[in-house]
Structure formats: structure tokens, C-alpha cells
A and B are shown apart, each in its own frame.
Chain A
């Protein structure tokens, strides 16, 4: 059969391949800031995931900061600044001080600082440890702590976003697609929970969880409770944090997902699918899901900084991860506790820059994804 009149002539060789994915990538690529953000995030993720490897090689300190407890400065001298400066290096096994140090009174020691006395005689048989970005008063290496802190922040962001996406998506799909009485009841529940003061509940839950974790720290619990507790302990308190963050955060996503489902459910292509006899499962998974997933992923990406902030804030006030687990919020809180306002600014700056860089990247990534996946929201 001849091609009917009116069909525009088209060359047979495929020009540029065009699929939704390629189109999205082309749009995303146009936004240079989000490309940079994506690269940054990939690097941060890579370093965070491979951190244990670097520790094993010896380039990083251990997660708990135990390995590099190098005695940089003698701690028995109260007025001596115990914070290793950025760039300072130390070796283990202090040798004795110059013999004349014993003549000085402690007061005069302060004035000469540790310029002459208590300066360790390096033991060259030991490996040298360098605090590239400084360290805290316990001799924890701030670079290692920041990198291990990235594990916490990234996992909170990614797990929080994924959980709320999955729960919210399923909830919104069911509610929006089936409509009627089911929708009514489900949305009543969501409206209901929308009035809950999220942060208050998270704090209460975290206080409870940290108390429980502390109480059962040393006892051997059996059964599911024991398993959960030990898993939480192994994760440095992250498990309970995920639960506390996840309990309420899916609600906004469920509302958004339902709204999108409602708008797409009335689209003619869904009606067309129904007209050919497609069942609910096919309509949901083939027609609705691929269309609403893009905008929801954009929303979740933009929500990730919120999860990271919450974790940082909780750790800042001591309700986040377990003590000893590196977390940017807990690191920043050292400033307040140890007078970092007046000196040793690296205590504040290093984790702060890491935190802002990460959330900034997620924001730019979200913007780029929005341009690519959700064209109707472009520019907002």
C-alpha cells in the first residue's frame, strides 16, 4: 500500500536517536551547574563508600578515630592547645623532653608553650601521621571523620528519600487510582497526619531510641528486639534514625503522588488504554508509573537536603547517631562544647564546608533533574 498523501516525507536513516531517557539526558546536560553537582556528588559518594579501603591502606584514620590516637601534644598540660592544626604531623612514641624542661615551673611552661618542652622527639621507626585538615582534642583526624561523616549524611539522605518515595508512591497510587471511598479514607489519614509537628515527634522518638539503645548497650537481648538493637549498634544508631525520620516524611510525598495520579488518570492515553482492555495493573505500571516517577524523583532529590539537615541538627544536639560515630552535625557541635569559636576554626569549617557542598550539590542536581524530567515545572 502506498503511503497516503499528507504524510511528511522523512529520511529513512535515523537522525538523532530520541527516547525519553536520551531527551532527559540532553536537557540535563544543558544545565552546567547540575552537571558539576552530579560530578561532585559522584566523587563524594565514591570517597564515602571506599573509605574503609583507604583506612586499610593507611591513608585514612579508622571510623571511630581509634587508630590515630597519636599523642601530638602532651595532654597533661592543661593550657596547651590540644587541637592538632591542619597540616601538622606527628609520630607515635614520644621520646623524653630536653633535660632542662624539668627546671621550669608549670607557669613558665605555659608561656614558652610547647615550643621547646614536650616537643616530642620523633621516633623515626614509627610511621608519621599527618593531620591534613587538623583534628580534635582527642586526636581524631578531622579529614577521616569528615569522610566517614559523609557516609552518615549520604545514607540518611538517600535512605530517607528512597523510603519516603516508595511509601508515598504506593500510597498515592492506590489512593489516587482507585479513588472513591478508599481515596477518601486514605487522604483523611494523610490530612490527619499533616498536622503532626514532625520535628517534635522526631525528637521524642530519638530520645526514646537513644535511651533504649543505651540501656541495652551491654546486655544481650534475644529475638527480634535483640537483632534490631544489635543492628542499630552496628550501624552506629542509624537504624533508629531512619525509623524516626521515615515515620512521618512520606506524607508530603503521598499527597504529591496522589495529585499526579489524579491528573494523569484523566488523561486520554489512560482512557485509550482502558478502551483497548488494559487491566488496572497494566495501566498503573505501564501508563501511570513511568509518567509520575520523574516529577516525584525531582521532588525527592530536592528533599534530600532536608533529611541531611535534620540528621545534622539531631546529632548537633546529641540526639542523632551514637556517640563515637562520625557525623557532621556532631563534629560541628564540638565548636560549641570546646570553645572552637575563638581558635581552631577548622573544627567548624571542615564539616561545615562538607555539609554545604553536599546539600548545595543535591539542590543543583534537583534543579537539573527538574529541567530534564519535569518540563512543566521548568524555571520555578
Chain B
């Protein structure tokens, strides 16, 4: 701030406006901004619906988060206590007068002020100070679902209800921010591998069109598409972990949580999950690259380049490939969705402590808040992926407009 004090504030505003304008132009003009706003606004009801469906589905599951500790059933009074503490005694979707739940013992009102005890400082067991505050409440919405939605709107995803984590008062957002990077490692490296493997394979197939090289690489591409992770992963484990012993079967040093580092061990544990996930991706990228390049090679400007007497290599790599890769870029959006599903599968097979593992565990533990949190995260990724596809298309094809 000190450097800008001698500048008139209008100058700052001017630079700011210019910057905004440049940004708007960069991402495709005012219509694109309008489109983005429309899509983001449209995402809000989608997220609400996803919350509603996930909430309903997860509460349909028989049993609850506090039904048992390990193999033992939890005593009834403790279940009651815990439910009250986490607000699970409230009605599920809406709090109607007949539900009989009134926070301070008074009558059900549609809305109004209610007294609420707020703990100030200290631990939960021994609160240092408590204060009663009057808060405006809508009784109809004083239900588990709307309390959760209200929390989400304040970016509070609630505490995990998992018995194993509950005592440490683990917040869902903390757990997710710990596990998401783990999943991201697998996903990002798999996408990179997919492109590194897929594009050369596709180019090779297109350049040697209708030759044995073409047939072979396309056969491998189809084979890669036809081999699911649950088949590929065990086979890779048998070959590289059991027979050759090059890599450990699973991570034993908690390396996943520590994140990427340039060590042999990291590469070893990374190799198999990434190859499992990346092979399928490279297969579809290879097929797309081949088709796109073949189409481009028949375009007039490529013929012109050849007619000019350019060397075949220059024609392919300078003129054709650059244009052929444009449609390939559009696969990034669907790929994002594939990465989500893919990491899910791969994590369960390779016992990687990522989001997929957390999700399955939370379903088993009836950890409602965690189920909701992970579902919301997945949906956000999916929505962003879908928007990205549409934006890509406009960038690449100026004929598409968002009017």
C-alpha cells in the first residue's frame, strides 16, 4: 500500500478496471462472463438438490453413526446424549409443529427470537463461561437438513460423526483437506501420464495410417479402454510388486499424506496407481488424437504445406499437429469426471488414504456429515468440469456463442 499512496485513487481504480477488462476479454468477452455467471448461478440449485438427495439417501440407511463401538452395541442413553450433542435428535427435513421439537421448550412458532446458550472459551466438558443470547430462528427450518445447509452456506461442513474420529473433534473440512491432496496426486499424475502416452501413440497411428503400426497402437488403445482398473491393478501388483519386487504392494511409510517428493520410494508407491489410472486415459486420448490428426491431414492447408515442398516431418509436427491437438484439449473436462471415478476405484484397490477411501468408510460408519461433504466436493468438481468443457468449445470454435 505504501507504494501506491502517492497515486490518486482513481488511478488505482483505473488500473483495476483495465485489469478487469483485460481479464474479461481474455476469457472471451462479456457474453462469456454472462455465461459463466449463468452457469454458476445454475449450479446453486444443483448443489442444493445434491445435498437433499445425498442427505435423504444417507439417512435412509439403516443404523446410525452411534449404533456401536467396535463390536459392542452402545448403551441407549449414550446414543441419546450423542445424538443430542450433534443435533441428530432434530427432525430430518423440516420441523413441523407435530414433530414436537422446540429448542427452548416453548411453543412452535413459524419464526421469532429464541434464547440460545453459547459456550465461550474452555473445553466442551468444562466451559469457562456460558452466555444466553437471543437469536432469530425460523422454527420450520430448525431441522437437521436445513441446519446443515445453513452451515454449508457459512462454509462449515460440521464435525465428523465417525466413532473413530469423533473424540478428536475432527472437522469434515479438515479431513477432506487432508485427504484431497492424496487423491489429487494420483489424479494429476495419471492425467499427465495419459497425455504423455496417448498423444505420441495417436500421432504414430495417424502418421502410419493403415499400417501395422496403426493397427497395433489402436489395438492397444482399445485394449486399454477395455481393461478396468480392478483387472489391471492386481495384474500390475503381481508382476511388479510380487514377481519382480520393484515396488511395494502398498505404502507402508505414510508417504501419501506427506505429499510429493523426489525420492525413489515416492515414485515406487506412485507408479502402479498412476499407471492403472493413466492407461485407460491414454487409450481414449490416443484414439482422439489419431482421429483428429487424420482429419487435419486431409485439410487443404496441410495439402498446401506439402505442395510448398515442406518436409513431411515439418508438415505433420508444425502444421497439422498443432491444429489436431485442439479437439484433444476438450477431453480435459470429461477427463476430470473420469479422474474422480478413477481415483475412487484405484484408491480402494491400492489402499490409498484418499477421498474414495474416506467416502466408503464414511458410508459404512454412517458418518452423515462426511458423506455429505465428500459428495458435495465431487459434485463441485463435476460441475466445474462441465463448465470447462463448454468454455473450451467456445475458445476452440469461435462459431459457438452463448447468446
Listed in ascending order, the chain A residues whose CB lies under 8 Å from chain B are 191-192, 194-201, 203-205, 207-208, 211-212, 215, 305, 309, 312-313, 316-317, 329, 332-333, 335-336, 340-342, 345, 348, 352, 355-356, 359-360, 362-364, 367, 379-380
B243 nearest CB across to chain A (Å): 10
Contact in complex: A312, B50 (CB < 8 Å): no
Contact in complex: A352, B231 (CB < 8 Å): yes
- Prevailing SS type, chain B contact patch: helix
A309 nearest CB across to chain B (Å): 4
Give 12 A-B pairs besides A197-B340, A203-B359, A362-B226 with Cβ atoms closer than 8 angstroms: A195-B50, A201-B53, A211-B61, A329-B230, A335-B234, A352-B231, A352-B235, A360-B226, A367-B222, A379-B294, A379-B295, A380-B288
Tell me the complex Cα distance, A191–B46, Å: 9
Contact in complex: A196, B50 (CB < 8 Å): yes
Contact in complex: A348, B235 (CB < 8 Å): yes
A251 nearest CB across to chain B (Å): 12
A-chain residues with CB within 8 Å of residue B60 when the two chains form the complex: 208
Contact in complex: A204, B58 (CB < 8 Å): yes
One of B75-83, B251-259, B371-379 contacting the partner:
B371-379
B205 nearest CB across to chain A (Å): 11
Tell me the complex Cα distance, A367–B291, Å: 13
Q: Is B212 an interface residue (CB 8 A)?
A: no
Q: Is B67 an interface residue (CB 8 A)?
A: no
Tell me the complex Cα distance, A207–B63, Å: 12
Contact in complex: A313, B340 (CB < 8 Å): no
One of B185-193, B260-268, B341-349 contacting the partner:
B341-349
Contact in complex: A199, B57 (CB < 8 Å): no
Tell me the complex Cα distance, A201–B378, Å: 11
Question: How many residues does chain B have at the interface if contact means C-beta atoms less than 8 Å apart?
Answer: 53
Going nearest first, the 5 A-B pairs with the smallest beta carbon separation are A197-B378, A360-B226, A359-B226, A380-B291, A204-B57
Tell me the complex Cα distance, A203–B361, Å: 12
B-chain residues with CB within 8 Å of residue A367 when the two chains form the complex: 222
Docked complex: B12-61 residues within 8 A CB-CB of A: 42-43, 45-47, 49-50, 53-54, 57-58, 60-61
Q: Is B117 an interface residue (CB 8 A)?
A: no
Contact in complex: B46, A200 (CB < 8 Å): no
Tell me the complex Cα distance, A200–B46, Å: 15
Docked complex: B360-382 residues within 8 A CB-CB of A: 360, 363, 371, 374-375, 378-379, 382
Tell me the complex Cα distance, A380–B43, Å: 32
B219 nearest CB across to chain A (Å): 8
| Nearest-neighbor residue (CB-CB) of B231 within chain A | A352
Provide 26 A-B residue pairs closer than 8 Å at the C-beta atoms, listed in order of the A residue. A192-B42, A194-B386, A196-B46, A196-B53, A199-B344, A201-B53, A201-B54, A204-B54, A204-B57, A204-B371, A205-B57, A208-B61, A211-B63, A212-B62, A215-B62, A305-B226, A317-B348, A332-B231, A332-B234, A336-B349, A345-B238, A352-B234, A359-B226, A364-B222, A367-B222, A379-B295
Tell me the complex Cα distance, A312–B345, Å: 11
Say yes or no: A309-B228 contact (C-beta < 8 A), given A191-B42, A360-B223. Answer: yes
Say yes or no: A312-B53 contact (C-beta < 8 A), given A195-B46, A363-B225, A379-B294. Answer: no
Tell me the complex Cα distance, A312–B360, Å: 16
Listed in ascending order, the chain B residues whose CB lies under 8 Å from chain A are 42-43, 45-47, 49-50, 53-54, 57-58, 60-63, 222-223, 225-231, 234-235, 237-238, 241-242, 249, 287-288, 291, 294-295, 340-341, 344-345, 348-349, 359-360, 363, 371, 374-375, 378-379, 382-383, 386
Contact in complex: A203, B363 (CB < 8 Å): yes
Say yes or no: A313-B345 contact (C-beta < 8 A), given A192-B49, A195-B383, A205-B57. Answer: yes
Contact in complex: A356, B227 (CB < 8 Å): yes
Tell me the complex Cα distance, A356–B228, Å: 8
Tell me the complex Cα distance, A363–B383, Å: 28
Say yes or no: A341-B341 contact (C-beta < 8 A), given A191-B42, A208-B57. Answer: no
The residue from A195, A201, A341, A355 contacting B249, defined by CB atoms under 8 A apart: A341
Tell me the complex Cα distance, A58–B18, Å: 82
A-chain residues with CB within 8 Å of residue B379 when the two chains form the complex: 195-197
A331 nearest CB across to chain B (Å): 10
| Nearest-neighbor residue (CB-CB) of B225 within chain A | A363
| Nearest-neighbor residue (CB-CB) of A378 within chain B | B291
Tell me the complex Cα distance, A363–B225, Å: 8
Contact in complex: B42, A313 (CB < 8 Å): no
A-chain residues with CB within 8 Å of residue B227 when the two chains form the complex: 356, 359
A-chain residues with CB within 8 Å of residue B58 when the two chains form the complex: 204
A276 nearest CB across to chain B (Å): 33
B-chain residues with CB within 8 Å of residue A363 when the two chains form the complex: 222, 225-226
Contact in complex: A317, B360 (CB < 8 Å): yes
B357 nearest CB across to chain A (Å): 11
B333 nearest CB across to chain A (Å): 12
Tell me the complex Cα distance, A333–B345, Å: 13
Tell me the complex Cα distance, A73–B360, Å: 37
The residue from B43, B53, B231, B374 contacting A355, defined by CB atoms under 8 A apart: B231
The residue from B57, B230, B238 contacting A313, defined by CB atoms under 8 A apart: B230
Contact in complex: A195, B382 (CB < 8 Å): yes
Contact in complex: A360, B340 (CB < 8 Å): no
Tell me the complex Cα distance, A379–B383, Å: 30
Tell me the complex Cα distance, A195–B231, Å: 29
Tell me the complex Cα distance, A284–B375, Å: 39
B306 nearest CB across to chain A (Å): 20
A-chain residues with CB within 8 Å of residue B230 when the two chains form the complex: 312-313, 316, 329, 332-333
Contact in complex: A192, B46 (CB < 8 Å): yes
B-chain residues with CB within 8 Å of residue A194 when the two chains form the complex: 382, 386
The residue from A191, A197, A356 contacting B231, defined by CB atoms under 8 A apart: A356
Tell me the complex Cα distance, A312–B359, Å: 19
B-chain residues with CB within 8 Å of residue A200 when the two chains form the complex: 54, 359, 374-375, 378
A-chain residues with CB within 8 Å of residue B62 when the two chains form the complex: 211-212, 215
Contact in complex: A336, B234 (CB < 8 Å): yes
B-chain residues with CB within 8 Å of residue A352 when the two chains form the complex: 231, 234-235
Contact in complex: A341, B53 (CB < 8 Å): no
Among the interface residues A329, A340, A356, which one has the most CB atoms of the partner chain B within 10 A? A356
| Nearest-neighbor residue (CB-CB) of A355 within chain B | B231
Tell me the complex Cα distance, A152–B49, Å: 32
Tell me the complex Cα distance, A205–B49, Å: 16
